[in-house]
Amino acid sequence: MDTDTFRRLGYELVDWIANYRERLETLPVMSQVAPGDIRALMPKEPPQHGAGLDGICGAIDSVVLPGITHWNHPGFFAYFPSNTDLSSVLADLLTAGLGAQGMSWQTSPATTEIEEVVMDWLRQMLGLSTSFTGVIHDTASTATFCALLCARELASDFSQNTGGLQSEAAPLTVYASDQAHSSIPKAALLAGFGRENLRLLPTDNKHALSMDILEAAIAADVQEGKKPCALVAAIGTTATTALDPLKAMAALAARYGMWLHVDAALAGTAMVCPEYRWMWEGVESADSIVMNPHKWMGAGFDLTAYFVKDPQHLIRVMGTNPSYLRTARDAEVNNFRDWGIPLGRRFRSLKLWFLLQEYGVEGIQARVRRDISMASWLAAQADTAPNWRRMAPAPLQTVCLQSVPPHLEGDEFALAAHNQAIVDAINASGQHYLTTSVLKDQKIIRVSIGAQATDLRRVEKLWEALQTCAIKTPGC
Ligand code: PLP
């Protein structure tokens, strides 16, 4: 593509994006297409002759848009938020425009040094001490995988240099609660610990890890000749944003010499506000922490912040040093290719830089406080409404609810069907998007607040819709 065409189509596309964001509210938040609908709109064979991209905005409207679930819509209350502030759209455009590859310092020094600076800004924003150093990964799943690889290598005295886990005399064990995100068991299995050595422990009545159960599980494993290796604390579980007892877990990790990894994928953003930092009290004892600016904070997907105490250990586990990658500056600089799994690295730090430049720390704090106060409002409504039950504490921005019509009380199957029907009706309306989960065998409706465009009026509208649907749902 020549630069004149790029300029013309680029302006058109920027206009399209701006208009899209302005009319988001008029679109159904959850895509209403059926499987195969979008595929059917595309030719089966690739174009033989290049025809140019003129008319691309029309194709976006007709082919792409119907199949988009609008994560930046004010009625988005599903999963966890994944805000892409428009500053990230510009940053991603620049990333692509520069086309720089940041695998080593020398391959584009700005990619490394801007990342170093913004990760240090983020460390300060989260109230973490200088004993942590940050690096950007694509997702929390990858960062957690790296954490467990580092834990494995520490506990096995670098078995990767000899026979690997297969040569370990004592099996290494990993502990987390059964509310830990699926990326934790996935990482443990991929890191070779084996399902038999992974303990996903039952939680307490707040859905957080129970210290008694954890201590008993570790003691039993030690008794059997196993070696406790890694402990993962969830600060803000996915189903309910439960908070594991990090401080007590840290003491236990120290006692057994275990690696302590903190998964604060969503909740990390709230730590920008000093008044919420009690939620991860003990975090300074962690060996590694993951949080996702690509969730609530507003940096567009994908951008995960991974903080470690000992970057040299990370480099020892991840580093490779083939002759074709060596440079004269290696001794003086960070080569971030050695701080994670992929060799090639996108210029992701631009998104964080642009976001922080646009809003400042105070802007992010204000949004976190707004969202938590909207969640408190909703929690208070549910607490006093007849026939509604709140299913978990709501320390952050997610409120877990169940509609309980009196005649369904005690009938778990009927309640599950009733609550699913409410969510299905809400999602079909196109006004709001919600997801469910199962918590100790109970179907719950999760209301996860945090899209940038959501305001209290929206939350009030959703609460009205929930109550109306609960009455109208068949069988009630
Ligand atoms: N940890 C928690 C608590 C999560 O809620 C999620 C995703 O929602 C993840 C980890 C995985 O995040 P990612 O998509 O960045 O791998």
- Rounded to the nearest 10 degrees, the angle between the axes of helix 109-125 and helix 349-384 is 30
Looking at the chain, the whole-number percentage of residues with pLDDT higher than 90 is: 96
Taking the centre of ligand 1 as the mean of its atom positions, its distance from the CA of residue 354, in whole angstroms, is: 23
Q: Which of 266, 303, 398 to mutate to test the pocket of ligand 1 (most atoms within 8 A of CB)?
A: 266
Identify the residue whose C-alpha is closest to ligand 1 atom 12. Answer: 140
Q: Which of 200, 261, 292, 435 to mutate to test the pocket of ligand 1 (most atoms within 8 A of CB)?
A: 292
Q: Is the pLDDT of residue 475 over 80?
A: no
Q: Do 240 and 296 lie in a common domain? A: yes
* 321 confidence band (pLDDT: 50, 70, 90): confident
Per residue in 421-445, pLDDT tens? 999 999 999 999 999 999 999 999 9
User: In which order are the strands placed within the sheet that holds 259-263?
Assistant: 133-137, 304-308, 288-291, 259-263, 227-234, 172-177, 198-201
Q: What is the DSSP letter of 32?
A: -
Q: Do 63 and 116 lie in a common domain? A: no
Block residue for tokens 């430049």: 357
Q: Is the pLDDT of residue 403 over 90?
A: yes
For the CA of 264, the closest atom of ligand 1 is 3
Torsion angle of C-alpha atoms 322, 342, 266, 244, degrees rounded to 10 = -60
CATH of the domain at 191: 3.40.640.10
Q: Do 275 and 420 lie in a common domain? A: no
State the average pLDDT for the chain: 96
Domain boundary among the residues 14, 47, 68 is at 68
CATH of the domain at 423: 3.90.1150.10
* Residues composing the chain: 476
Q: Is the pLDDT of residue 236 over 60?
A: yes
For the CA of 234, the closest atom of ligand 1 is 3
**What residues are paired with 259 via a beta bridge?**
230
For residue 374, the Cα-to-chain-centroid distance in whole angstroms is 21
Q: Do 116 and 241 lie in a common domain? A: yes
Q: Do 299 and 414 lie in a common domain? A: no
For the CA of 294, the closest atom of ligand 1 is 15
For the CA of 144, the closest atom of ligand 1 is 10
Q: State which residues form the domain around 438.
A: 366-472
What pLDDT, on a 0 to 100 scale, did the predictor assign at position 473?
Answer: 79
Per residue in 174-206, pLDDT tens? 999 999 999 999 999 999 999 999 999 999 999
Residue 96: how many other CB atoms lie within 10 Å? 11
Taking the centre of ligand 1 as the mean of its atom positions, its distance from the CA of residue 265, in whole angstroms, is: 6
Q: Which of 82, 182, 183, 341 to mutate to test the pocket of ligand 1 (most atoms within 8 A of CB)?
A: 183
Domain boundary among the residues 15, 49, 68 is at 68
d(CA 226, CA 472): 55
Per residue in 282-294, pLDDT tens? 999 999 999 999 9
Per residue in 264-310, pLDDT tens? 999 999 999 999 999 999 999 999 999 999 999 999 999 999 999 99
Q: Do 46 and 138 lie in a common domain? A: no
Q: Do 231 and 259 lie in a common domain? A: yes
Q: Do 59 and 111 lie in a common domain? A: no
Mean pLDDT of all residues in 317-332:
91
Domain boundary among the residues 311, 346, 381 is at 346
Q: What residue ranges line ligand 1, CB within 6 angstroms?
A: 80, 139-141, 181, 183, 234, 236, 238, 263, 265-266, 292, 304
* 453 confidence band (pLDDT: 50, 70, 90): very high
Q: How many folded domains does the chain comprise?
A: 3
Single out the residue of 145, 192, 146, 147 nearest to residue 173, CA to CA: 192
Q: Do 399 and 430 lie in a common domain? A: yes
Q: Is the pLDDT of residue 406 over 70?
A: yes
CATH of the domain at 63: 1.20.1340.10
Q: Do 150 and 201 lie in a common domain? A: yes
Would you list the DSSP string of 157-198? TSGGGTTGGGG-SS-EEEEEETTS-THHHHHHHHTT--GGGE
Per residue in 140-163, pLDDT tens? 999 999 999 999 999 999 999 999
Q: Is 147 left (phi over 0), alpha (psi -120 to 50) or beta?
A: alpha
Per residue in 83-118, pLDDT tens? 999 999 999 999 999 999 999 999 999 999 999 999
Block residue for tokens 């510009």: 90
With b for 16 or more beta-carbon neighbours within 10 A and e for fewer, the 225-255 pattern comes to ebbbbbbbbbbbbbbbbbbbbbebbbebbee
For the CA of 302, the closest atom of ligand 1 is 15
Q: Which of 82, 148, 238, 302 to mutate to test the pocket of ligand 1 (most atoms within 8 A of CB)?
A: 238
d(CA 356, CA 205): 38
Identify the residue whose C-alpha is closest to ligand 1 atom 5. Answer: 238
What pLDDT, on a 0 to 100 scale, did the predictor assign at position 223?
Answer: 97
The H-or-E segment that residue 245 falls in is none
* 358 confidence band (pLDDT: 50, 70, 90): very high
Residue 472: how many other CB atoms lie within 10 Å? 11
Taking the centre of ligand 1 as the mean of its atom positions, its distance from the CA of residue 182, in whole angstroms, is: 8
Look at residue 87 and tell me if it is in a domain: no
Look at residue 203 and tell me if it is in a domain: yes
Looking at the chain, the whole-number percentage of residues with pLDDT higher than 70 is: 99
Q: Do 104 and 48 lie in a common domain? A: no
Look at residue 82 and tell me if it is in a domain: no
Would you list the DSSP string of 260-318? EEEE-TTGGGGGGSGGGGGGGTTGGG-SEEEE-IIIII-PPSS-EEEEES-HHHHHHHH
Q: Do 145 and 191 lie in a common domain? A: yes
